[in-house]
Chain A
């Protein structure tokens, strides 16, 4: 398997990172999960015949580090790399990070995936979300009814409300709408978010297979990458 370098972020300054989440342990754990994923990172022979994914979508792309890395691993002309972020600074950083690393990302400013449905219904092959997962007061969470006050504040990139699950819980129904048959959904969680509970909930609601694919201790937190796969043979209706 080829080795992929961490995207070059040297164009982003301290000033950028006052408004945009700076890649940290959680970002890098997600990159490791992508690089080690047997369907995303292929050996050279299989890369030549790659026919998946066609549509990648990252929610909350921040600096653009993760989607840039995905584009490098998948191959920049092999798929569409759509990204959303509620923060216009982040969308600009995402575009610039793509350009700096010679891949094209397609950033759009929106709440979660609100303007991509129903067009992308059951059409996203690879869905990625590193949500604001830190348990906080609900008032700190960015949401449609709580805009734009915390919109440009950096806390919106990590404040997750009760159990760190408020944004995540609001996104899960979108994930069900978006994910294509056979699609893969990678998500970053904390151990404090109770990943097993979420895996069970999602399995009961939609029958998706979920499991931990990567975990690492980071200071007092334990980071977990959870993968969900939608069955290829589900009834699409």
Chain B
């Protein structure tokens, strides 16, 4: 990046003022968002932001400062600010920060992108969304139809006092649509391919075209309408088949977050909490049944949680978190990995230039099994199939969870027996995963992109991925609450 050679002088200043380690990230980001609603363009926006952040270790404690103003004077001011902040941190410390070694590299990395989404004319994108949006409203029960797409580009330079110089560029694309039907005192929503904006990937406009929003729009509208007429999900303990989209959030909340070693060591305690996966459990604890293997993989081309290097200059890696049901590893950073005398797992990422990197999920994936969804349903005497996330909540150790999905289908004697509305299910994480007795295979496995994972104070939003296939769980409580 053009500005970097000048700004990296800030690192010299930090060292001169007493920093034992310093790094600088210079970041430029742009985002385009387009949404249509009920046949009208709701908004087209283009944002650009740029800035840099300086992270320093002084007297064994961290300091971080950032600015939107990219010039040398500001970089020197910010570096001085970071050192002062670090000295203040050092007045309240229990131990000195130490960092696992990393080989400093000079390298660059770019995510795959065939069709630059920022070069596709805005009116062409709008027309695609209007076409899909119109089809959603073919069902008269639909009160609100929406279709949206968004594109994100980030260029990032990382330089450290250890000699790393890394340039990275990523392009992300995503789109989705939804229908809200209103009637009979009910409000019901269906979405495609997922709720909350759809599906996302490190890819170009080709990803949006492949989603074929118009091809799925009528079904989305029709199902939202049908849900108004559907009976309430029964309150029972039964067999649950979780669809691939809901499975993504199940993995996210009950495996991804609790595997973050900074959370395990307490640094998120006052915000979203800690984790039940305490260090003595590593390598021993039965997290789930033998069919459950979960992997963190930042190396999958196109994954929303993929990258070349993390924000400490550590290369992307593939790490088993749960292996044959046994909890195996954490997501780690250079600092936290020293607790085990290991190298970093390369999962430190910051939400733009103004945030200090923290441990984030990469692509956290349930490894595929050898069933099919059809076989699972045929093999289930009584149960319910749930898909498309609608609501989520989990306790501050990531044990007691409750999810709601947009739709449920009762299963009786090996066949779908009808739709139910407002389905919810709840459980305790290891008990739930312990009840897993079937996972679908590679053909039904999908790598979802979730661009909205929140963590930390100040809040940081990460873009993560979850590979998942439908899976079956025994003895799950569904239909929670009074309806």
A binds B: no
